[in-house]
Chain A
Amino acid sequence: MREVAVIGTGMTKFGELWGQSLRDLFVEAALGAMESAGADTLDSIYVGSMSSGLFVGQEHIGPLVADHLGMRGVPATRVESACASGGMAIRSAFFEVASGASDLVLAAGVEKMNDGADVTGVLATASDQEEEVYYGVTFPGLYAMIARAHMTAHGTTEEDLSWVSVKAHRNGAKNPKAQFRREVSLEEVMSSSLVAEPLRLLHCSPVTDGAAAVLLCPLERAKEFTDRPVKILASGAATSSLALAQRPDPAYLDVVELSGRRAYQMAGIGPEDIDLVEVHDCFAIAEICCVEALGFLEWGDGGRGAREGITDLGGRIPVNVSGGLKSKGHPVGATGVAQAVTVVEQLRGEAGEQQVEGARIGMAQNMGGSGASSVVHIFQGV
């Protein structure tokens, strides 16, 4: 396989963007990625979207977005893995470039969630319709069950969950593209309204519109486009059961562990080599489970991460310096690509006051459903 580099990034603001359509969002992010690399052609496009069909009534968005980007004729395929769609789009683009089949491949993610759809119902389609949704569970309800299992098995507390949200907002307040650019106090989190016990509103990521894009090419050609390419060291992915009840331990995201292990193996490194990580904190408990499964904290000990500042900017392993899904926003299909944009900016030293000093290797972990799919990418500044 050829070595692959990220040579350009683009991203819209995240938020309730009532004036922009799905195609507008895609084009803004894609043009940003192409212009930042000075590229005016593409060989191929992958676009991650969880549910353009249910959110805006539009399937078949590959040709739609290619056409609107001015790239009619270029092969373009939608990639879907629920909230991991964006990360899986990067994975598809990565392998297309690595294989030698194409040189310039755009990996984007887009979701237009605020357009009048029943968002709770759409998100629930990422869980098992027959075994879960039928009985009245919601997405927050599934992560709430993960949280309660973690609390029961490991003594994690509601306060541990809440520190994750406090940290997310502290970081997101400094991210110009974040949906919620304000800090929240521990008291605000712990007194916010209950969504699904023990999860409260401020333990949950919001409903967001947005898009993000990265442009990939073979590492050997990267200097034609940028002085600061970022190499993709590894792509690891995995699946588990769609239904939470079918997994051996509801307190453990086995899919994250497996995808992370594959990525570490491909890169030939371990968690101690990672300088920063963006994990899929769709709910506060997810961040706790992910930092454990990726080896940054011991199994069962993830609650210490935010509580003790281990995962802060300046801590041993900064987690979600972008504000994460919680504060930055979570346009589901775009999230995995936005995580990669954050990591690439960090490795290029372009992150301003959120910069992790001396960051050389970064990771992005993107998850679908209640932990049924996960994809991990490891990046290295060149």
Chain B
Amino acid sequence: MPSPRYHREIPARYRLEAGRCKGCGKVSYPSRMVCPACGGRESERIRLTPSGQVVTSTVIHVPPDEFLNEAPYAMAIVETPEGARFMTQIVDCEPSTVAPGMEVSLEFRLIRKEGQSGILCYGHKGVPSAGG
């Protein structure tokens, strides 16, 4: 991924910054210029709570080349308490145990590497909550 594109995504990926619509309160992650719920243009920046619940999930057995060494790995759509949903890997557990309803915390992790000499790309992954 070209570095300028990566740089633009840092607030959302590193700090879980989202936008909350000043009109209707809808939380968009990543933030958007136009609210998908009401069309409003004004939003405030918030940080998502770093936890959530699995909405749906899978275990990837045939991965993209960049993730060859990690397969099989679990991926899920996670919903945070603010109602924001996003897709990420669920790690530090048996992939087959990940299922809808599971509570996860979102932790800052390495996501991918850009080839042999490219940048290291970070973001958040889900980790099953203790006792959950």
Q: Which residues of A contact B (CB under 8 A)?
A: 118, 120-121, 124, 130-138, 140-141, 144-146, 148-149, 152, 193-199, 241, 243-246, 250-251
Contact = CB atoms under 8 A, between A and B. Distances in A.
Interface residues of B, number: 36
Contacts, number: 99
11 contacts: A135-B75, A145-B77, A146-B56, A148-B56, A148-B58, A196-B61, A199-B58, A245-B77, A246-B85, A250-B55, A250-B77
Contact of B123 (A134, A243, A246, A251): A134
B16 to A, nearest CB: 13
Interface string B39-66: 0000000000000000111111111111
Contacts of A135: 75, 87-89, 111, 123
Central interface residue in B57, B62, B63, by most chain A CB within 10 Å: B62
B87 to A, nearest CB: 5
B87 A132 contact: yes
Contacts of A118: 65
B112 interface: yes
Contacts of B11: none
Contacts of B99: 148
Contacts of B1: 134
A245 B52 CA distance: 13
B123 to A, nearest CB: 7
Interface in B81-122: 85-89, 96, 99-100, 111-112, 121
B25 interface: no
B56 A121 contact: no
Contact of B112 (A136, A141, A145, A245): A136
B30 A152 contact: no
Contacts of B62: 120, 138, 140, 195-196
A138 B59 contact: no
